[in-house]
Amino acid sequence: MAGGARTDRPLLLLFWAGPYGIIVVSLENRKGWTLMSDRDDRRRKYITFTFGCQMNEHDSEVLAGILESMGYCQAGNSEDPDIILINTCCVRKTAENKVFSLLGRLRRQKAQNPNLIIGVCGCMPQQEGMAERIKQLFPHVDLIFGTHNVHQLPELIGKVIEGQKQVLEIWPGYGGELREELPVKRKEGVRAWVTIMYGCNNFCTYCIVPYVRGREKSRSPEAVYEEVARLAGEGFKEVILLGQNVNSYGKDLGVKTDFASLLESLENIDGIDRIRYMTSHPRDFSLRLVEAIAASKKVCEHFHLPVQAGSNRILKKMNRGYTREEYVDLIRYIKSLIPHATVTTDIMVGFPGETDEDFNDTLDLVREIRFDSAYTFVYNIRPGTPAAEMPDQVAENVKKERIQALIKLQNKISLERNEEEVGQTQEVLVEGEKDRGSGFIYGRNRGNKTVIFSGDPSLVGKVVPVTVTGARLAHLTGILSYNYHQEGSR
């Protein structure tokens, strides 16, 4: 482990690094690292590739933050990088295949530039036997590290520069305190991701995440509050609180707090206009939480509640911990308190043993709830999970037919739900220009739908009223409300 990460004294590590001369890695008061070279004034360049969920996207922001505090800068489009980090996902086979194919393509780049450092991190190497497999299949990979080893990046790069081959560091869990002081290089200017908890304890029988991300570990409410307040000071307008199951927030802390209390505490941070969160598990979504969201001005009325299936038999085999009826009741309660709430979901087809009747239950639930949108997935065997060993795996052609039928139904409903918003005047937080110089800007309404409308880029970062005039499958179109022009011209 990074012994230096626990000291308050500045620590200098010296490495002899061949063509780079002497590399000095300095760890300054646990706040950051710098990487310098006595021969080469050119700033070293990095590229990160990210696969997977927002959690991984945010981890890549931390990786970029660490690299920048070591003196690296992001490589431009035509620039050759000195280091490439690939932050991987293994939730489905397709995500893994993308990583394998990228690693194959990088073989040539490494042959052309032997000093290039290639690192693989994230969820894939946390799977049993995967790191060894990557080492063997891709000898040009210099560095492999796990989801719990991000803070060790400077030390690990140092080892590669020293000449160690295929450096490997993978911990099964966090190994003590969460590291609160890692630097973050955020991509966007309006919305910022903030991790509130790591890991997952749910063990849905199909899912690899609890095995690769470890047990739930919440950040302290104070640490989250401080980060959000800092982001407000930096000009961010929206925060998205991240966790695999945010409703479990605080259960492991041993103090009296929960997700609803965390949301309430963030409400009074000036400068933050909107609070979102993901992902929440239907089982732990308490009525008190719905009430807290209904009472809040800043927490958006968008509920992403992955249902996965509409058949109680399948939900049980998935170990989801709720029935279809309980799920429907929860949505009813949400809509009774917040009639304009949007509800989105994740649905999986082809879970082992899923019959036509089970699948029809899913279609039926989709018709009943009328989700605003849904992420739809074909069940994929993940080695090491209980579902991988279940008999009655569904044939690929059946899975394909089912996903097509599901997508067709959901697309129809999504469009209808969007059409229902035409004529409404909504608050939109402007995120950016549609295409440079196009005269169009875009943002999200509180329900998390993208709205595109004609407007000036100077509105980026502002919440403006927009009247919805058109509906497409994936976005709404609108016009800036007359009232805003009036206000603006005063």
d(CA 279, CA 241): 9
Residue 210 binds ligand SF4, judged by CB under 6 A: yes
Span from 94-102, 114-122, 204-212, 231-239 in contact with ligand SF4 (CB under 6 A): 204-212
Cα–Cα distance measured from residue 3 to residue 169, given in angstroms and rounded to the nearest whole number: 14
Nearer to ligand SAH, 263 or 387 (CB): 387
Contact with ligand SF4 (CB under 6 A) among 167, 209, 231, 239: 209
- 137-169 CB burial, b ≥16 within 10 A, e <16: ebebbbbbbbbbbbbbbbbbbbbbbeeeebbbb
Q: Which two tokens stand for residue 114?
A: 């032997």
Choose one: 72-80, 99-107, 197-205, 435-443; the region binding ligand SF4 (CB under 6 A): 197-205
Residue 341: CB minimum distance to ligand SF4, A = 22
Tell me 216's DSSP state: -
Residue choice 89, 134, 196, 330 for contact with ligand F3S (CB under 6 A): 89
Residue closest to 309 by CA, chosen among 363, 238, 353, 235: 363
Give the nearer residue to ligand F3S in terms of CB position, either 126 or 426: 126
CA 269 to centroid of chain Cα atoms: 23
Q: Does 146 engage in binding with ligand F3S (CB under 6 A)?
A: no
Binding of ligand SF4 by 204 (CB under 6 A): yes
Nearer to ligand SF4, 245 or 467 (CB): 245
376 interacts with ligand SF4 by CB under 6 A: no
E-only strand ranges, 77-213: 83-88, 117-122, 143-145, 167-169, 191-195, 197-198
Which partner, ligand F3S, ligand SF4, ligand SAH, none, binds residue 263 by CB below 5 to 8 Å per kind? none
Q: Would the CA dihedral through 228, 231, 232, 238 be positive or negative?
A: negative
Q: Report the nearest approach of ligand SAH to the CB of residue 245 (Å).
A: 6
Q: Which residues bind ligand SAH (CB under 6 A)?
A: 91-92, 206-207, 209, 244-245, 279, 281, 306, 308, 346, 348, 377, 379-380, 382
Select the binding partner of residue 379 from ligand F3S, ligand SF4, ligand SAH, none (C-beta < 5 to 8 A, by kind): ligand SAH
The CA–CA distances, whole Å, from 165 to 18, 23, 65, 144, 160 equal 14, 18, 25, 11, 7
Nearer to ligand SAH, 51 or 442 (CB): 51
Nearer to ligand SAH, 144 or 204 (CB): 204
**Which partner in ligand F3S, ligand SF4, ligand SAH, none is near 382 (CB below 5 to 8 A by kind)?**
ligand SAH
Kindly state the DSSP code that residue 395 receives in the 8-state scheme.
Answer: P
Dihedral of the CA atoms 64, 66, 67, 69 (nearest 10)?
120
Residue (123 or 168) nearer to ligand SF4, CB: 123
Alpha-helix runs per DSSP H in 166-307: 209-213, 221-233, 259-266, 287-295
Pattern of binders to ligand SF4 over 239-278, x per CB under 6 A?
-----xx---------------------------------
Start-to-end Cα distance in the chain: 60
Structure tokens at 248: 């479990």
Query: Quick one: CA dihedral 451, 457, 463, 467, positive or negative?
Result: negative
Query: Of 200, 239, 309, 341, which lies in the binding site for ligand SF4, with binding defined by CB under 6 A?
Result: 200
Strand order in the sheet with 238-242: 191-195, 238-242, 274-278
CB under 5 to 8 A by kind: which of ligand F3S, ligand SF4, ligand SAH, none does 266 bind?
Answer: none
Binding mask 274-303 for ligand SF4 (x = CB under 6 A): -------x----------------------
Exactly one of 15, 20, 52, 478 binds ligand F3S (CB under 6 A); that residue is 52
Site for ligand F3S in 95-124 (CB under 6 A): 123
Phi and psi torsions of 181, nearest 5°: -110, 25
Give dist(CA 454, CA 162) in Å, integer.
54
Helix axes 153-162, 54-69, angle to 10 degrees: 60
What's 299's DSSP letter?
B
In this structure, the number of other CB atoms found within 10 A of the CB of residue 397 comes to 8
> Could you tell me the smallest distance in angstroms from the CB atom of residue 270 to ligand SF4?
34
Among 25, 35, 55, 168, binds ligand F3S (CB under 6 A): 55
Q: Which is nearer to ligand SF4, 147 or 445 (CB)?
A: 147
Question: Cβ 199 to ligand SF4, closest distance in Å?
Answer: 9
| Helix, strand, coil content of the chain in percent (nearest 5) | 35, 25, 40
- ∠ CA(203), CA(341), CA(324), 5° rounding? 40
The 8-class DSSP code of residue 459 comes to G
Q: How far is the CB of 384 from ligand SAH (least distance, A)?
A: 11
- Judged by beta carbon distances under 5 to 8 A according to partner kind, the member of ligand SAH, ligand F3S, ligand SF4, none in contact with residue 27 is none
Binding track, positions 202-231, relative to ligand F3S; x by CB under 6 A: ------xx--xx------------------
- Contacts with ligand F3S, residue ranges (CB under 6 A): 52-53, 55-56, 89-91, 123, 208-209, 212-213
- Contacts with ligand SF4, residue ranges (CB under 6 A): 200, 202-204, 207, 209-210, 244-245, 281
